[in-house]
Amino acid sequence: MGRLVLGLDIGITSVGYGVIDIDNNRFVDYGVRLFKEGTAAENEKEGQKEVQDV
């Protein structure tokens, strides 16, 4: 395996990635991680919940 390059695509509800072997001009791995879309109201509830747990 040669020199590797990691590429990231960071979005609001996902993170995409790719690893490329630039010496052999090949993809090593690639994929995406999706996150549940949040809302401001849900974020506020989570913040209050954390304070109560302490």
Residues sharing a CB contact under 8 Å with residue 13, sequence separation 6 or more, in sequence order: 34, 35, 36, 37
The answer to pTM > 0.85 is: no
Spatial separation of the C-alpha atoms in residues 22 and 29, rounded to whole Å: 13
pLDDT digits over 15-44, tens only?
Answer: 999 999 999 999 999 999 998 876 666 767
Closest to 37 measured CA to CA, from 11, 17, 4, 6: 11
Helices (H), the chain: 40-53
Going by pLDDT thresholds of 50, 70 and 90, the confidence category of residue 2 is confident
Total domain count for the chain?
1
Range of the domain at 23: 4-53
